[in-house]
Amino acid sequence: MLKKSIGGNAHENWSLLRLLPLLVGQLVPPDEPAWQVILDLKDIVELVVAPVHTTQSIAFLEARICDHRYRLQEVFPGLKLLPKHHFVEHYPQMIRFFGPLVGLWTMRFEAKHSFFKQVVRHTRCFKNILLSLAVKHQFMMAYHLASTTTETSSLTVSAVSTVSVDILHQDVQKVLQLKYPDITHIQLTKNASVNGVNYREGMVVVHGSAGGLPEFAEVIQMVVVEKSLSFIVKELGAWYREHFRAFELCPTSLVSLIQHGALLDQYPMADYMIGGRQMVTLKRFIQIQGCIMVVCVVFIRCMS
């Protein structure tokens, strides 16, 4: 019997929709109408879960919802629309009233519920299960409350090594000397976290914008100076590929130093290897010089 659903829960389907253009996009003809339906749905999902919205992004969401419904009925004329197709048309207005819907969704309740499911799975005891869940939950809360301190630094590193500035790349030396004229030694680390966001060598960050497009860079080394984090990066060129809803990247020979506070988006990207292109697929919508732009989640470094 043919199933009309791919199955899976919300975050599994979200990940599939986000990665599908990178998995099969190169096999799909550019003028395939069903592919445009999927890409419109991808844009809608990413806009709905965006943590920040502007007047332009809400208007863009309204246009994408209208395009998706029109294409869906055109490509699949026998499809019966469901109530959810109507509900999603109210999302832009709800965002205007209540702000980003990702702050109101039930996914956090699902995450909370996963703790209780793990307790049941591990204890395998259903005698007075409600009491067992309540006790385990209180133990977990007591542990987190006891381990939390207000004196924790926003910057944490696993290990550091002190090196002389003279052994660094000349371009990096110049930037360091401009920022810290009297510095002779710095501390290098391979793993650092700032406000809970983890950074590692090899990740890709968004450090600026040019012509309404984000500028990407690959982290080569991380520098700790005066308890602040900076990145030694190799800058990357980028252009947008509409068919993949992604940016294709190309390496450059430019090496520079970027302070953590100067990043356009605080979330780094991990890299993957596929085909012959480097790509960044899109998730977080940000505002760049008056343009709506999506950045950050999966970085694709393709191998031929």
- Domain ranges (residues) in the chain: 10-103, 107-147, 155-301
| Secondary structure E strands in the chain | 155-157, 161-164, 185-189, 191-194, 197-200, 204-210, 213-225, 228-241, 246-259, 265-272, 278-281, 284-288, 291-295, 298-301
Cα gap 62→292, rounded to integer Å: 14
pTM, 2 dp: 0.77
Cα gap 268→299, rounded to integer Å: 9
Side-chain half-sphere exposure of 199, counting CA atoms within 13 A: 31
Confidence of residue 53 (pLDDT cuts 50, 70, 90): confident
Choose between 270 and 59: higher pLDDT. Answer: 59
- Taking 80 as the threshold, does the pLDDT of residue 289 lie above it? no
Cα gap 204→214, rounded to integer Å: 12
CATH code reported for the domain at 155-301? 2.30.30.490
- Taking 80 as the threshold, does the pLDDT of residue 150 lie above it? no
Q: What is the pLDDT of residue 148?
A: 60
Among residues 280, 282, 269, 284, the alpha carbon closest in space to that of 302 is found at 280
What are the φ and ψ backbone dihedral angles of 219, each rounded to 5 degrees? -75, 120
Element (H, E) at 113: helix 107-123
* Tokens 């371009």 found at: 171
Cα gap 118→110, rounded to integer Å: 12
For the segment 95-102, the average pLDDT, to the nearest whole number, is 91
For the segment 214-230, the average pLDDT, to the nearest whole number, is 87
Percent of the chain with pLDDT over 70: 89
Cα gap 300→191, rounded to integer Å: 21
Percent of the chain with pLDDT over 90: 26
- Taking 90 as the threshold, does the pLDDT of residue 158 lie above it? no
Cα gap 2→15, rounded to integer Å: 23
Cα gap 210→105, rounded to integer Å: 34
- Taking 70 as the threshold, does the pLDDT of residue 2 lie above it? no
Among residues 210, 216, 217, 207, the alpha carbon closest in space to that of 289 is found at 210
Q: What is the pLDDT of residue 146?
A: 84
For the segment 169-176, the average pLDDT, to the nearest whole number, is 79
Confidence of residue 88 (pLDDT cuts 50, 70, 90): very high
Cα gap 85→102, rounded to integer Å: 19
Cα gap 257→175, rounded to integer Å: 7
Return the C-alpha torsion angle 55, 57, 62, 65, nearest 10. -170
- Which two structure tokens, joined as six digits, stand for 104? 């109101």
For the segment 209-233, the average pLDDT, to the nearest whole number, is 85
